[in-house]
Structure 1
Amino acid sequence: MFSIEIEQVKKELGTRTLFQIPKLTAGTRARIGLVGRNGVGKTTLFEILAGIKEPDQGEIRRKGSTGYIRQLSPEDDRLSGGEKTRKWIKAEMRQRPALLFADEPTSNLDVESVRHLERQFKKYSGAVFLISHDRAFLNEVVDTIWELENEIITVYPGNYDAYLAAKAKQHEKAAQAYSERQAKKSQLEEAIRHREKEAGKQVRPSKRLTSKEIRSAKPSKGVQQKKQHKLIKAIEKRIDRLETVEKPYQFKAVKITIPKERMLKPGSAVLTAQALTLQAGEKVLFQTKGFTLRAGEKVVLSGVNASGKTSLLRAIIGEDSALRLSPDVTIGYFDQELRNLDKAATVLENIQKANVHEDKVALDVLGSLHFDQEDWQKPVQVLSGGERVKLSLAMLLTQGANFLILDEPTNYLDIEALEALEQMIASYEGAVLFVSHDRMFTEKVAEKMLLIEEKELRLIDQPPDVYKKEKEEPQVEEDKLLLTLRQSEIAAKLMEPQLSEAEKKALDEEYFEIVRKLKHI
């Protein structure tokens, strides 16, 4: 049974077609993840499916009520962190719509809130449709991926990892087809060169030859050349008839360098924090005994919502007396309000103002973040929220800073741009302090942690995944021991003759529930 049926739906933006969908359906318990680059029309499609906007043509049949959790803009005045996001989600889910559309619902949520949302969406009774850059979240929740690319929707069964595997196979197949086509073309072109060479070798018979000798000689140069050129034209037609195969897109890795005059000595102190207490008004956010961040380190600032992460970043930028920066430090700061953008200027004009490298470096960074050449002349004011975030990051990466401070840089980015940002930050030669609740991004980039926990800030000299594993292992072992002891108790009780059938049944059920839990630990 379908929760939604989409037929011949089309939407245009000016002269540009965003998408055309001949026919598409989803079941009543569907878990759909919609993926695609920033600006392709994902949010517009969700607004149409949810009944907020109308398509230019086509029909949408819905079975039941709809709910829409909208994407908060990176410039939204109401954006104050995860509390706003959680409040919006609760308000929509309380209505229990049959079709729930959620556009970037994990933005600004801390890790525990994201995990809670995963559990809510997994057990939700209706159909759930998600737009999310959080790959770990998609893996946990969805069972189908809809990819919006080149104006069409392609359906991939499975979660995000399954989608990636299918795309990798497609890319491999396309690369093989392109290679075979190029090899065949080269072979035919070589045959043309050979025929042209043969035609050039033909010579006319000498005038000194007798009539008999001329008749027995090979055909004249003109005849032979005509024959060769006829063969060449036949081969050229074969080349023209070769199936057109586009060269598969190959991601170009871009390394962000720092000008020599701004390079810091490896291991030198970038930021030294003395013992301090950070407050918001009368409220104590956290205390710390102090820490030091060094050149080249990639450090994630972690903590629950409202624990003081953004306040710490602003204190560093504001040069709090207890937070001492090296005099040689040049900061590049990414904030969620995107203050470094000139909205009236074009994409190219914005990055040219920031860039301290050759023009090619700026253009390579734009390309890695999927700004095509046709995007360069667009004014910032017409860009989507995600495109503005990408431009702001591109400007930051090319301005020559040796210490990047990034406050939630992964929000609103499409997944391909997110992966490009991972690569660029990992190869960046300077120090990076960042806040992100994207678990996969954090695990790929961070080497250390600044952790705010129970109103205390401390530096953890381990990557987040290693720290988490070591922290959880003792608890896991304790849980296993307690479950095993309870299992033994139940086994002993089941041997008691005075137990009623109802008591035996209850103990049996508890015993097998423990078996199930032990398998999952």
Structure 2
Amino acid sequence: MSLITLRNLGLTIGTPLFSNLTFSIEKGDRIGLVASNGRGKSSLLSLIAGAQEPTTGEITTARGLRMALVAQNPPDALHPLSLYDTVLSALDPETAEMESWRVDIVLDDLSVPPELWHTPLAQLSGGWQRVALLARAWVSEPDVLLLDEPTNHLDLSRIGFLQNWIATIARGVPMLIVSHDRAFLDEVTTRTLFLRSEASEEFPLPYTEARAALDEKDHAAARRFENEVAKANQLRRQAAKLKNIGINSGSDLLLKKNKQLKERADSIVQAARPAHQEAGSGQIRLANSGAHAKALISFEPTEICIPDGPMLYTLPQSWISPGDRVVILGANGTGKTQLLTQVIAATRAEHPTIRVAPSAVPGISDQALSQLSAYKTPFDAVTSVSDIGDQKAIAELAAAGIAFGMQDKPIPALSGGQRSRLAMLLLRLQAPNLYILDEPTNHLDIDGQEALEHELLAHDTTALLVSHDRTFVRTIGTRFWQVVRKRLVEVDSPEPFFAEQLGAS
């Protein structure tokens, strides 16, 4: 029995986001919803939750069905409330007064430390705000959960906890999940819906298997279209020959046959459907200017410390050579970013124990994309770091997914994905040969993540990076350094670390 059914659903906001979407959510479903940034994923969740009206089509739900939407960010009205009161406010006043104990149970189920229960939501980290919103949804005892980027701001241990929570405590509740975390989707989903402006595709498979099936279907469609066009072109060539013969011979029959062949060719082309071309949210391209040094970064035995604080761990004598892509592994708070900070400092001034080769051209991007704060607008940023000219700058920004109308807007007005793509564009224009990247996939959709991976691999780049994205680390990393008991040691694989963190409660 279907709990929620969508029939011929469509939504247009300026341009059509999706149309003729028909699918259902049934008991036991774990559906991953996948699309590029700005293609309507969050809007679809909002439509299903009843907070927005579709342009076309209809949504029907089972009688008495309770749905809960876990949005990406808490509304401003919740910011002054404590975490506990944020969850309690999801209940109606009478239930809240008589059954406030439900909040205690939910917070305990989600392993929220008691010392955070009465902290104002605005003072919590992004990760704990996500947990608070999930608790707020769960306390209402929903029949269906709609989750919008549930792993955003979560470290690996909390992602592991969420995966386990979905598989155990919440196992009986169907879910529709928007996420750019490919490894998470593979772990928790059983169906995948690829949302498209036309002809969305759905497969009864988790993300990676579904993506392979989608690619195969798209390639088959492309081959069919090419064959149909080739057939039509052949008919047109035959029609042209008959026309010449008919004119020269004065045969009305051949001229009539020419017309029929042309009409048949036209009908074939009109009936043929081009293969889907995903209008991605912007290209990501990088460059690697090369280096002749045997080691771009050399480390003498080094202590990594909190500024004016205690030592976090020691780093032995080490090197990063051209082509190395070194991933730093460690739990939150172990000081991964502090190592990047010291390396960045060494690129700008002499460092007592870290030496950066004179031929190194660093390209730096931190978690907050703070490098963008030096510029007023995207156009200002591109023209400041390069001399490509105004027209080329406009074209490059458009290719990165920043439309002309946004190019002269303040950079804070950009979406998270647009800021990430702008940061990658600036790196390419600076032509570095050493990338220092802290959580570079934050805010990038799956297309953006894959494009970044492709560029890093295609140019055999050198990089020192930190990332919680398991798929990205597995794809990109060639060497792995892990913080283990106040020492940074090289390990053969990230998998034991992933397993340890995902299993942490």
Check the 8 A contact 1:300/1:449 in 2, yes or no: yes
- Equivalent residues in 2 for 1:14-413, closer than 5 Å: 15-20=14-19, 23-53=22-52, 55=54, 58-59=58-59, 61=61, 63-70=65-72, 82=127, 85-86=130-131, 89=134, 92-93=137-138, 96-123=141-168, 124=170, 125-150=172-197, 153-195=200-242, 198=245, 202=248, 223=250, 229-242=255-268, 243-249=271-277, 256-259=286-289, 263-265=290-292, 267-319=294-346, 321-341=352-372, 345=377, 351=382, 354=385, 371=401, 375-379=403-407, 383-413=414-444
Shift of the alpha carbon at 1:178?
A: 1.3
Shift of the alpha carbon at 1:64?
A: 1.9
Amino acid at match of 2:470: R
Report what 1:519 is aligned to: none
Check the 8 A contact 2:285/2:424 in 1, yes or no: no
Check the 8 A contact 2:383/2:393 in 1, yes or no: no
SS at 1:17 equivalent:
strand
Find the structure with the greater CA-based Rg.
1
- The CA distance in 2 between the partners of 1:52 and 1:227, in whole Å, is 64
Describe the superposition over 1:31-57 as per-residue Cα deviations: whole angstroms up to 9, x where unpaired: 121110111021222234345555567
Scaled by the length of structure 2, what TM-score is found?
A: 0.73
- The CA distance in 2 between the partners of 1:53 and 1:325, in whole Å, is 54
Amino acid at match of 2:37: N
Instruction: Provide structure 1 residue ranges, at least 5 long, that are not aligned to the other structure.
Output: 203-218, 473-521
Shift of the alpha carbon at 1:84?
A: 5.3
Query: Identity rate of aligned residues, in percent?
Result: 25
Amino acid at match of 2:458: S
Aligned positions, number: 437
SS at 2:25 equivalent:
strand
Describe the superposition over 1:102-122 as per-residue Cα deviations: whole angstroms up to 9, x where unpaired: 222223433333222211112
CA, structure 1 residues 273+178, in 2 after alignment: closer, same or farther (shift >3 Å)?
A: farther
CA, structure 1 residues 232+270, in 2 after alignment: closer, same or farther (shift >3 Å)?
A: farther
Check the 8 A contact 2:324/2:478 in 1, yes or no: yes
- The CA distance in 1 between the partners of 2:340 and 2:354, in whole Å, is 10
Scaled by the length of structure 1, what TM-score is found?
A: 0.71
- The CA distance in 2 between the partners of 1:304 and 1:86, in whole Å, is 18
CA, structure 1 residues 264+80, in 2 after alignment: closer, same or farther (shift >3 Å)?
A: farther
Amino acid at match of 2:70: Y
Describe the superposition over 1:382-436 as per-residue Cα deviations: whole angstroms up to 9, x where unpaired: 6532233233223323420111111111222221222121111112243111211
Amino acid at match of 2:208: D
- The CA distance in 2 between the partners of 1:398 and 1:80, in whole Å, is 34
Shift of the alpha carbon at 1:331?
A: 1.6
- The CA distance in 2 between the partners of 1:41 and 1:146, in whole Å, is 13
Describe the superposition over 1:264-288 as per-residue Cα deviations: whole angstroms up to 9, x where unpaired: 1163333535321312553443222
The one of 416, 424, 427 equivalent to 2:458 is 427
- The CA distance in 1 between the partners of 2:21 and 2:197, in whole Å, is 14
- The CA distance in 1 between the partners of 2:65 and 2:186, in whole Å, is 27
The one of 446, 464, 475 equivalent to 2:494 is 464
Describe the superposition over 1:343-379 as per-residue Cα deviations: whole angstroms up to 9, x where unpaired: 9746x77556545789989968975x7x4xx935544
Report what 1:517 is aligned to: none
Check the 8 A contact 1:133/1:415 in 2, yes or no: yes
Report what 2:94 is aligned to: none
Amino acid at match of 1:427: A
When the two chains are superposed, the root-mean-square deviation of aligned CA atoms in Å is 3.9
Shift of the alpha carbon at 1:17?
A: 3.1
Check the 8 A contact 1:410/1:418 in 2, yes or no: yes
Check the 8 A contact 2:329/2:483 in 1, yes or no: yes
- Equivalent residues in 2 for 1:482-501, closer than 5 Å: none
- The CA distance in 1 between the partners of 2:153 and 2:440, in whole Å, is 11
